[in-house]
Amino acid sequence: MSDPTPLDDEKIQRILRGITVPPQPQIIVDIHMEQAMPNPDINRIGKLISHDVGLAGTILKVVNSSLFGLKNRITSIEQAVRILGLQTIIRITEGLSIKGEMDDETIIAMGGFWDSAMDIASVSATIARNIGYQSPDKAYCLGLFHNCGVPLLMRAHADYPDIMRESYSHPGERVIDTENRKLKTNHAVVGYFVAKSWSLPPDLCEVIAEHHSSEDIFRESTRATYDGGKKTLLAILKMAEHICGLHSTLGGQAEDHEWNAICHDLLAYVGLSDLDFDDMAARLEHLGVNSQDTFHD
């Protein structure tokens, strides 16, 4: 699905049948409204975030982690906005907010999923800096947000964990092909509509839609025809997924069939050798990723 935008309302309703897309959280609406002002008030944005104690605490934990390499500990959201910049804080807020829109039952049932999302976000931001990508905050948001369709499908379909494990088990097929056959939709396209309805940047929305169609995207023959910025974001995400063992934690598989199909072309695109990638993955071990905690129903 290279361009989901032209879908008409009837097709969208079919894709989302039985699935409730959570509304954009009010805090993000308020932040975007302030951001649109001629002179955005950083202090007001900090106060908006601080009103959500759980979100504010998580943001401070993220910005004080080794990800951002800050010399002094940040103690307030206002300080974080000044030091990291408004866009970085907005991206982190968007990514973290998806969990807050799930019901308690779904959150508890998918405890390992949220841990995995945080790992992938952290690793994505680190990889972005390592390869010289200019917006690690965007990579972080993508890592957190890209599988947001998974909990929505789980909430709508009791057998979705089994479908997910089956979808990761077939070499030579896209992960989303099994979902398309059994559900007439898939988590990538559902995630796209959530991201679009929350007004995430178009390139993030499109990468979310396409993140399981990467074999075609990284083929040598398509290198000049696919947007370079999106392709780099997608490469960062797929490297992070592999390093974090998503094929195991989400798909219950010992072998990462998707990575095996794309790794040669993907690493060539970002200018890394196999040894470079292995070294980078080894350096990321201190983040505690690839814990092999599996996703259960």
CATH code reported for the domain at 104-297: 1.10.3210.10
Question: Do 290 and 279 touch, CB atoms closer than 8 A?
Answer: no
pLDDT reported for residue 294: 35
Nearest to 80 by CA among 117, 36, 50: 50
Answer whether 128's CB lies under 8 Å from 237's CB.
Answer: no
| Angle made by CA atoms 10, 15, 18, in degrees to the nearest 5 | 105
Instruction: State the helix-helix crossing angle for 274-283 and 257-270, rounded to 10 degrees.
Output: 110
Q: Which candidate, 54, 53, 55, 35, places its Cα nearest to that of 44?
A: 35
* Tens digit of pLDDT at every position of the chain (297 positions): 444 444 555 666 666 776 777 777 888 888 888 888 888 888 888 888 888 888 888 888 888 877 777 788 888 888 888 887 888 888 888 877 777 666 666 666 666 777 788 889 889 989 999 999 988 889 988 998 899 899 888 888 889 989 999 999 999 899 999 999 999 899 999 999 888 888 888 999 999 999 999 998 988 655 556 788 899 999 999 999 999 999 998 889 999 999 999 999 999 999 999 999 999 999 887 655 544 433 334
The whole-number pLDDT of residue 291 equals 40
Q: What does the DSSP 8-state code read for residue 221? A: G
pTM, two decimals, is 0.82
Q: pLDDT value at position 4?
A: 42
Report the distance separating Cα 219 and Cα 63, nearest Å: 36
Domain ranges in the chain are: 20-101, 104-297
Q: What percent of the chain is helix, strand and coil (3-state, nearest 5)?
A: 65, 0, 35
**Cβ contacts of 240 within 8 Å, gap of 6 or more:** 120, 121, 123, 124, 127, 143
Q: Is 292 exposed, middle or buried (0-12, 13-18, 19+ CB in 10 A)?
A: exposed
CA dist., res. 21 & res. 149, Å (int): 9
